[in-house]
Structure 1
Amino acid sequence: MEVLVVEDDDILGKAIRRGLEDAGHRCTLAATGAKGLDVVVAQKCDAVVLDLMLPDQSGIDVLRTIRSQGIRTPVIILTALGSVEERVDGLNAGADDYLIKPFSFPELLARLSAVARRAHNLTAQSLCVGPLSLDLATRRVTRDGQEIDLTPTEFSLLEFLMRNAGQVLTRKMLSEHLWDSNWEGVTNVIEVHITRLRGKIDRDFGEPLLQTVRGRGYVLKGV
């Protein structure tokens, strides 16, 4: 896996690179947001580890620029800023995961593998639920023929909901699908992703497909 690490702390950056290389991955370091953007645009990365507190610009601005250019590379935010509001801001800006410093390196490796696997696990299949269609080969999602742009995490979440259409999925089930069975992260992260997904597949259309079942979880239903 080719990983870009955008981190201005030289000691931490080199430690992450050493750990990734020891695990068999390739790693490029960038100490500024501008350098990180240059690398993302110039070379193909399988994942990005992004600090939020950079010397030239905020990591959130870097992330928004990446997404505004149509680059869907999975991004894990790695930062000391760990309030609920800061996590929500990062996810709303297009991050696929959020890891707070200090962190366990094996956990970072596991999360990198998970987001990269979700982004590249393509099969020649299509799913349809009512007016909603998902093509797993092209990663194209449409509703009523209108294309919908999703992040890798949103795509994986929608795929799971569509494969289990009509079935109520709990937050735990969704968490285990997105972050593997041993994931024990913050449960409200699921609500953030659900809200973002609902805004994309339902907000500009008629009948809502993604519904909340109070006290139980979420269900996707065709019209």
Structure 2
Amino acid sequence: MSLKPITLWTLWGHAGTPNPWKVSMILEELNVPYEHKFIDFADLKKEPFESINPNGRVPAIEDPNTGISVWESGAILEYLVDTYDKRHTISFTAGSKEYYETKQWLHYQMSGHGPYFGQTAWFTVYHAEKLPSAIERYVNEIRRVSGVLNRWLENKEYLVGGKYSYVDAAFVPWFNAIALLWSDKIDIEKDFPHVNSWLNRIKARPAIAKTFDDKAKAKANAAEGK
């Protein structure tokens, strides 16, 4: 039976926002049809979106194949692999050691990785007042969490079980922001070589490359008002 496209809510005009593209990567990897539904920032806390995500943030998905809506990017990734990766091509068997290790790294990405990158972006780009102490704090936190990954990835190709899984992809969008925003402050290739090699392996995958291409097109369309 053919699948109906999943709706992936993404912020209009902020196509570089990393978390929705994390979800897109996994949908591409699983070959699940989907479509972006772009929403203006001003409409995040209004209906109809507020009924889908009461927190008023992207991403969120609506799956017409199951009737389930999910928000929070980590929860969405878990839902997608639980629902659409029955052969465990990018996940692991429920209850296995690797199954819980992927959850462990996903929680690390959600609590100790993404937020520090996000705060760095806020204080370097969006905050009205430049606060060097805040920027220094969050840049140092990026270095710290990157160092944890770098030590773990020494002599490893991927985070869990010796194979690529959905949790590897989860880290990529925020790391990509370094090249765009903080290349003068953080040199991943030089300072975190194992992380750099790992990221290059992931970005070479067709599904990941397509997602970055789609993101670039969406950003260009937003700039042109399309």
Same fold (TM over 0.5): no
More helix by share: 2
More strand by share: 1
TM-score category (smaller protein): 0.3 to 0.5
More relative contact order, 1 or 2 (CA 8 Å, 6+ apart): 2
